[in-house]
Chains A and B, each alone.
Chain A
Amino acid sequence: NAGVTQTPKFRVLKTGQSMTLLCAQDMNHEYMYWYRQDPGMGLRLIHYSVGEGTTAKGEVPDGYNVSRLKKQNFLLGLESAAPSQTSVYFCASSDSTFQRVANGYTFGSGTRLTVV
């Protein structure tokens, strides 16, 4: 049981390039989330999804787009990367609201992105 898998684990982009981060979960969870983690800032929510085909903005959505075409996958896209998007990106998933309250989130191991 892999849980939440993020690819790639590391990436260096040049300013203006685009890329997609993939998050895959095998727990049949309804809810999926993308966070970014920066020193001294904790985790900040970028976008999230409460089910297949749905997405919603979080705290810091600008410069990012997401898609949830399949229940098990949640993609995070950077259309035109900027140095301010240098960060560690974490994907998380959770079950129904009741289960989420009981068990919390399951996190992936992160993607370290550097934009130069």
Chain B
Amino acid sequence: SQQGEEDPQALSIQEGENATMNCSYKTSINNLQWYRQNSGRGLVHLILIRSNEREKHSGRLRVTLDTSKKSSSLLITASRAADTASYFCATDEDFGNEKLTFGTGTRLTIIP
């Protein structure tokens, strides 16, 4: 079964608005990562947050992590048409386990 479940499955917003996606997971983690996938392409690593961190920023991206609720959120501020893509969370469940488990993704569409 999937470790991460993203919510919502699909999101459409106007250009310039903020987009928020959520990820829930089931087991204890070492870190959580977010990836972007443009249509027909491979995934690209965006940002990583460790289990002892609560918030992290990278450019227009803001990630939060609540380990007590086993959830994370990805906020994209001032969205652009180029942000249209699918976004996946991935959990690193156990340090040394050597693999990531991906969620089902959120499809984000930015309307110009």
Tell me whether A109 is interfacial, beta carbon within 8 Å: yes
**A-B pair number, CB within 8 angstroms:** 61
- CA A43 – CA B91 in complex, angstroms? 12
Shortest C-beta distance, B19 to chain A (Å), equals 19
A residues in contact with B40, CB < 8 Å = 110
Chain A's interface size range is 20 to 34
Q: Is the CB of B95 within 8 A of A104?
A: no
Tell me whether A107 is interfacial, beta carbon within 8 Å: yes
Q: Is the CB of B43 within 8 A of A105?
A: yes
Tell me whether A74 is interfacial, beta carbon within 8 Å: no
B residues in contact with A102, CB < 8 Å = 48
Tell me whether A58 is interfacial, beta carbon within 8 Å: yes
Q: Is the CB of A90 within 8 A of B98?
A: no
Shortest C-beta distance, A4 to chain B (Å), equals 8
Q: Is the CB of A42 within 8 A of B2?
A: yes
Q: Is the CB of B104 within 8 A of A42?
A: yes
Q: Is the CB of A109 within 8 A of B98?
A: no
Shortest C-beta distance, A65 to chain B (Å), equals 18
**CB-contacts of A70-116 with B (<8 A):** 90, 92, 97, 100-110
Mark B residues whose CB is within 8 Å of A: 2, 4, 30-31, 33, 35, 40-45, 48, 50, 88, 90, 92, 95-96, 98-105
